[in-house]
Chains A and B, each alone.
Chain A
């Protein structure tokens, strides 16, 4: 009977960290009947890094994080948190991790401090440490003067900071955040990023976040795993992932009165590695030398008497990485949600 006693005796603190990786995900699969939500995913998260799971809605990120955090049973494979198998020693694993779900679940009728106190008790934090932990966290997330405010009176950004504090109230070693900045305004998002980086450094945390924001993964994560249709399609540091995409610059140009063979003409320009036509005479051109390609592009347009309506040059982003590995952009997935099917871009898969 596991009703009264846990499979592993829960300690008030996470037991001493094992050597090696903080998180080990080993050939993990989740099936719902015939549907495979997560398909044979394997990766390790090193101690002290911020690891991002990047993918569109429905890619399997939340299912993956829920299996790692003991919320969902694993169909096959295994996940180790601080060395504890989440299927065999769930309570020991739970004691080592803080989890912030996608929805804001702090109780809106309770005050900021009461929310933290309840969770400290649920994690079995000894009474003598509880107040110190709460004070320290409230200071860290800059909610000290709001400690007696009811949660429903807080703004979205403040509530997210409370959630972060709540996940750390038992001093975990590993912190899971499921889409931590969804629904926040740009200023609050940046504030959350800075806060997470500071907390990670101060507390020697390992952080795993899921996100569908490219800039978030790029700016915050040491390594990023791209997940699509339940599979891991790429894993590396943001810099290495961007370097893996042919071309270092992306030129987006829109033309008027372009001839029918204009795409072929663009491909002939020096340093161009690929050309993707988009809607309304818009072209997405990847180049290994952005400035040179831009100059030649403008000269070609003048020679061919084609008018350039707009032109922008930027470095390769994780969005381009996603396009490169999955064959479509993240925003395509948003369109799909409204039942539109965008045409495939030929030649985009590696």
Chain B
């Protein structure tokens, strides 16, 4: 086994001598975490909402007061008074407004008569996120306006649904962190395992190994162990940096640190063996570079890191179920976001380690001891 450690020593000396490439590999998931976390994670603020009051009665004033209250508190939108409904709709079309609310003539009278009073909301539904936010906000507002001034509970028992949230509100950046950690390890494996392996082959470094008495298993195990150690380092660094950036304190709980370490090790083993299996018969240095984007899309996006697997079609769900990314992301989410115990991650650890063992066995069988 000393020969295997010689391979590991060589790879790690190279890594620490010129870590720039690996650092760049870590920057990519961090940039993604910061940009996507901030881009998708926020709530709508200060949208411009046109208000066309064609009624000008007391109930319309009540609506305008409610809109002003939202502006002052949640800051979701800023009401902009309009005289003409046509102009307001035109401005929604051309983007000057994000939406418009139209209080029709006779609105107050209809409220008092309880004769189906209506308020119109005009939205630009090409922007799904904005339109659904405005719709949601104004539905709440209308519900509030519908509440009778006197508590009717003694007269009519209404059924209501109260939602209980198990965890405190999780910002999108925190939600994204498990995926970013896993992605950092994958990029590290792709560069430190896949690309360097093929580059070494092309440069003849492997020819140098093959003329020594090293066994097939020592060589495969040495290359994989070196790649796994590099991915473990990447995983630990990105976990600490990501936790600091997103303000996730649970990382620094000693019990969680142990679970994270277990997950980092299991994920690194699974990713390295998977990458080695994919590259074991490849000779052309362009292949890992060309497949990088495909693998990233094929393995990262179906993993549940950015969108729930349950929403996928059956074929994509199948990819998710065999994808080691899925189990890694699930494990990190359980520890980082839910503060869950070992029971929550043991199946993930088992899948990652067992799949790693299967893949290294197949890769060793496919590995050629000659040129």
Contacts and interface: CB of A to CB of B under 8 A. Distances in A.
A122 B215 contact: no
Contacts of B6: 118-119, 121-122
Given A4-B217, A71-B371, A72-B371, A122 B203 contact: no
A10 B208 contact: no
A110 interface: yes
A123 interface: yes
B252 interface: no
A95 interface: yes
B136 interface: no
A109 B18 contact: yes
Contacts of A91: 213
Contacts of B370: 70-73
A162 interface: no
A114 B213 CA distance: 19
Contacts of A124: 2-3, 213
Nearest to B365: A3
Sort chain B's interface into a size bin.
20 to 34
Contacts of A78: none
A5 interface: yes
Contacts of A4: 215, 217
Which of A10, A95, A150, A166 has the most CB atoms of chain B within a 10 A radius of its CB?
A: A10
B17 A97 contact: no
A196 B204 CA distance: 23
Interface residues of A, number: 34
Contacts of B207: 71, 101, 103, 105
A66 interface: yes
Interface in A67-105: 69-73, 91, 94-95, 97, 99, 101-103, 105
A198 interface: no
A2 interface: yes
Interface in B4-46: 5-7, 9-10, 13-14, 17-18
Contact of B215 (A3, A69, A71): A3
Contacts of A118: 6, 9-10
Contacts of A107: 10, 14, 205
B209 interface: yes
A101 B208 contact: yes
B205 A2 contact: no
B2 A69 contact: no
Nearest to B215: A6
A94 B364 CA distance: 21
Contacts of B18: 109
Nearest to B219: A122
A71 B210 contact: yes
Nearest to B222: A122
B359 to A, nearest CB: 15
Contacts of B205: 105, 107
Interface in B303-333: none
Interface in B350-371: 364, 370-371
B17 A122 contact: no
A69 B210 CA distance: 9
A110 B13 contact: yes
A109 B211 contact: no
A109 B205 CA distance: 13
B95 to A, nearest CB: 54
B215 A2 contact: yes
A6 B213 CA distance: 8
Contacts of B130: none
Contacts of B48: none
A122 B214 contact: yes
B212 interface: yes
Nearest to B216: A3
B371 A121 contact: no
Interface string A101-135: 11101110110001000110111100000000000
A3 B364 contact: yes
Contacts of A97: 211
Contacts of B209: 122
Which of B3, B14, B18, B212 has the most CB atoms of chain A within a 10 A radius of its CB?
A: B212
A119 B208 contact: yes
Which of A10, A73, A118 has the most CB atoms of chain B within a 10 A radius of its CB?
A: A118
Contacts of B14: 107, 109-110
Contacts of A122: 3, 6-7, 209, 212-214
Contact of B212 (A94, A103, A109): A94
B189 to A, nearest CB: 19
A150 B17 contact: yes
A109 B17 contact: yes
Contacts of B17: 109-110, 150
A105 B208 contact: yes
B133 to A, nearest CB: 52
Nearest to B212: A122
Contact of A123 (B7, B13, B213): B213
Which of A101, A119, A121, A122 has the most CB atoms of chain B within a 10 A radius of its CB?
A: A122
Given A6-B215, A107-B205, 9 more contacts: A3-B364, A66-B371, A72-B371, A91-B213, A121-B5, A121-B6, A122-B3, A122-B214, A124-B213
Interface of B: 2-3, 5-7, 9-10, 13-14, 17-18, 203-205, 207-217, 364, 370-371
Nearest 6 A/B pairs, CB to CB:
A121-B6, A10-B213, A3-B217, A99-B211, A103-B204, A91-B213
Interface of A: 2-6, 10, 66, 69-73, 91, 94-95, 97, 99, 101-103, 105-107, 109-110, 114, 118-119, 121-124, 150, 166
28 contacts: A3-B215, A3-B364, A4-B215, A4-B217, A5-B215, A6-B215, A70-B211, A71-B211, A71-B370, A91-B213, A94-B212, A97-B211, A101-B207, A101-B211, A102-B204, A103-B203, A103-B204, A103-B207, A105-B203, A105-B204, A105-B208, A107-B14, A109-B14, A119-B6, A121-B3, A121-B6, A122-B213, A124-B3
